[in-house]
Amino acid sequence: MNAPRTLRYPAELVESGLVSAEKLPALEDVAARYAVAITPEIVGLIDPADDADPIARQYVPDPAELRTTPDETGDPIGDKIHEVSEGLIHRYPDRVLLKFVHVCAVYCRFCFRREMVGPQAPHLTPQALEKALDYVRAHPEIWEVVVSGGDPLVASPRRISELVQALADIDHVRVVRFHTRVPMVAPERVTDALVASLTAPGVTGWVAIHANHPHEFTPAARAAIARLADAGIPLVSQTVLLAGINDDAETLGQLMRTFVENRVKPYYLHHGDLAPGTGHFRTSLAAGQDLMRALRGRISGLCQPTYVLDIPGGHGKAPVGPTYVETTPEAVSVEDYRGGKHPYRPGEIRTES
């Protein structure tokens, strides 16, 4: 019997029962523009009978992806504006982002780099990588290197280890952070060799794990995360706020709790970027703020991510969560998690009666 394989073509989605045959022509149009890949781990989670399945909506192509609005762009967060060397983005003073590979284990239908990743995307050559490392060496203000792509954990442990060692040899680089979907979508790749490749003497390795729904935490995914945590690698989360997938307080709260139960500290909740063909995933900022209010005080502080918007045009991330403080020239009022408002006067203590 053949081993399960990653599905990469709409015809394979039809053969596997994930989509109906009548949808094939429309999905082939989508796949001609945006890469498709759904791993066996994810295929096993999808309920083909549920048109609103939260896993399928993240990975199965949809004709809506070919509807682009005037405000959407192929470079929604301005990577090109801050690209200082091929594959190297220097947007913030003390850190850079290295697009180590341009392929992923899966292709999310809402990806903000969807125009730049996929099997046809140009690879970062050894020469380009060395040039990027030379830039890091020449800039002592760089304290952290964020390794992204694509998904860097699709690279071999040997390549990852060589990269981490090269960064560890740069005295001013102290942290190397990997952003990945692999533990959730291809947990079998998280081998002892891969885990060992993520750290080296002289730098601290961190891993940011991307998941958007509690169903993604399969037993295999939990075991992969545990291998990273047991090795002493600090773990943080990344989640995209997605309409119809996690934009309700119950789902989002359970997702954050599940991260924490698996030793992953919630880090960022991203507002949907203005990537082409992703409008059907985006919520309003007000809806995101309401969700953050619903989480505050009702679930543990360990489970609170920072809600952020990557400002279009390359201006960086800004926290856009709700505010609980209202300031006027006369007074300061602070709102509690139940919606009650209380005056704040330094030196005066008020207690509940």
Catalytic residue among 23, 91, 99, 282: 91
Catalytic residue among 23, 99, 109, 113: 113
Active-site residue, 134 included? no
Active-site residue, 310 included? yes
Which two three-digit tokens encode residue 342? Answer: 């209380």
Active-site residue, 104 included? yes
Active-site residue, 111 included? yes
Catalytic residue among 8, 95, 159, 257: 95
Active-site residue, 51 included? no
Catalytic residue among 53, 75, 247, 310: 310
Catalytic residue among 9, 92, 135, 267: 92
Catalytic residue among 23, 107, 108, 307: 108
Q: Give, in order, the Cα–Cα distances in Å from 76 to each of 80, 233, 277, 319.
A: 10, 31, 12, 17
Catalytic residue among 23, 59, 99, 104: 104
Residues 187 and 154: beta-carbon distance below 8 Å? no
Strands ordered across the beta sheet of 235-240: 83-85, 88-92, 95-99, 144-148, 175-180, 204-210, 235-240, 265-270, 306-311, 316-319
Active-site residue, 95 included? yes
Catalytic residue among 273, 282, 303, 307: 273
**CA dist., res. 104 & res. 11, Å (int):** 20
**CA dist., res. 224 & res. 233, Å (int):** 12
Active-site residue, 303 included? no
Catalytic residue among 23, 111, 151, 307: 111
> Does 316 sit behind a cis peptide bond, omega within 30 degrees of 0 on the bond before it?
no
Other beta carbons within 10 angstroms of residue 80's beta carbon come to: 11
Which two three-digit tokens encode residue 33? Answer: 């523009």
Active-site residue, 192 included? no
> What are the start-end ranges of the E strands in the chain?
83-85, 88-92, 95-99, 144-148, 175-180, 204-210, 235-240, 265-270, 306-311, 316-319, 325-327, 332-335, 341-343
**Residues involved in catalysis:** 91-92, 95, 104, 108, 111, 113, 273, 310, 317
